[in-house]
Amino acid sequence: MGSGNHSSRTYVPALDGIRAVAILFVFLYHAGYLPGGWVGVDIFFTLSGYLITTILVTEFEARGSVFIRRFFFRRACRLLPAVVVLVGVALALSFYFNDQLRETKIDAVAALLYVEDFRYAFSPVTGTTLGHLWSLSVEEQFYLIWPFFLIVSLSLFGQERSFYVVIVTIVFVILWRFALLTEHSASPYYRIYFSFDTRIDELLIGSALALWGRRPGQALLRTIKLSWPFIFIFFIAILIKVDPVTKWEGVSSYPLIGAATACLIVILTTEEIHFLTRLFTLAPLVALGRISYGFYLWHYLIIHEVKTGGFTILYVTVLSFALTLIVSIGSYRLIEQPVLRLGRRAY
């Protein structure tokens, strides 16, 4: 969600198209249309892992190290200002309407400290208008840990062996998740769905792809390209059926979603033009993808507020989408980009 500020050297418009599709899935899920629209968050996870690792590996190869302070400073400039504004608005609305004020205050603190994933994992409560920020907590915790892990691995093993280190870590996370499934007498699904330690495999799948490289063998690349109909069928099956929190198949699908997203990224980042390249570079999708971070931040609060008006679900969806689009454009132009430019000048 928050890794959209990659340089023009690595910028691929089709990846913004993926962001747009992912945010549409999440929006329709929260609007009440797509039971499996939660998969948009998983797509974001894998894409974020890929982009962040690509940036870090590129810098490491060029300089022999990574400027950690600059990395963290720019991450903060990219992510934090818009969240602070959202949290302020959510608190103001909760106070004015006397709507879940105590829970919203707790969520506000958890969101600003980027620990909301653990709040919902270990003490499941009715979500507030800030509840969706749990996914940003997962990503931020990844950003805090991953650069150090990656630098050590690259220094000791090099890029090729680091790929295998990441693969082993992914397998460990998957086994850990299934161990939790079998050991808990009560339902473990909230613990597994929201928590960093049980969701990091999708981020790591994207990271593994970045370490693997962008030029797979022609035979493998041809196989991946021919697999796109199966990727579509897989995502459609999840979108229309799978519940991520209360169903075993939802929990078991995380690495498959990561792998399918990785295949999609491979197709879209090769130099050859593909049907999917044309699809994901449609101008409206690319434009929505560029403002997807702000769209994700604001959509849940706006849907909640519009729903209180007692309108039909179609009216709620259309109005919420329009308002979220307007607000996210404003966030992108007035908050996110200006602060990011200042951050780049400072570092």
Taking the C-alpha atoms of residue 51 and residue 4, their distance in angstroms, rounded to an integer, is 8
Contact in structure between 254 and 194 (CB atoms under 8 Å): no
Contact 129, 90 (CB under 8 A): yes
Distance CA 319, CA 322 (A): 5
Report yes or no: 82 and 335 within 8 Å, Cβ to Cβ. yes
Q: How far apart are CA 48 and CA 42, in angstroms?
A: 10
Residue pair 260/236 in contact by the 8 Å Cβ criterion = no
Count the Cβ atoms, other than its own, within 10 Å of residue 94: 22
Per-residue pLDDT in tens (0 to 9) along the chain, 347 residues: 766 544 434 679 999 999 999 999 999 999 988 888 999 999 999 999 999 999 999 999 888 888 999 999 999 999 999 999 999 999 999 999 888 899 999 999 999 999 999 999 888 677 899 999 999 999 999 999 999 999 999 999 998 899 999 999 999 999 998 888 877 555 677 888 899 999 999 999 999 999 986 555 677 778 888 888 999 998 998 888 766 655 566 677 899 999 999 999 998 988 777 788 899 999 999 999 999 999 999 999 999 999 887 778 888 899 999 999 999 999 999 999 999 888 888 76
Query: What does the block give as tokens for 81?
Result: 């200002």
Q: Look up residue 47 and give its DSSP letter.
A: H
Task: Give me the pLDDT at residue 181, please.
Answer: 80
For residue 47 the two structure tokens come to 């894409």
* pLDDT, position 328: 97
Q: How is residue 55 written in tokens?
A: 């940036």
The CA-based dihedral angle spanning residues 73, 13, 296, 117, taken in that order and rounded to the nearest 10 degrees: -60
Give the pair of three-digit tokens for residue 159.
């890029």
Q: How far apart are CA 48 and CA 2, in angstroms?
A: 7
**Best CA proximity match to 198, nearest among 54, 42, 330, 318:** 42
Give me the amino acid identity at 251. Answer: V
Residue with tokens 């928590």: 195
Amino acid identity, residue 319?
Answer: L
Residue 224 is predicted with a pLDDT of 85
Three-state DSSP state, 32: coil
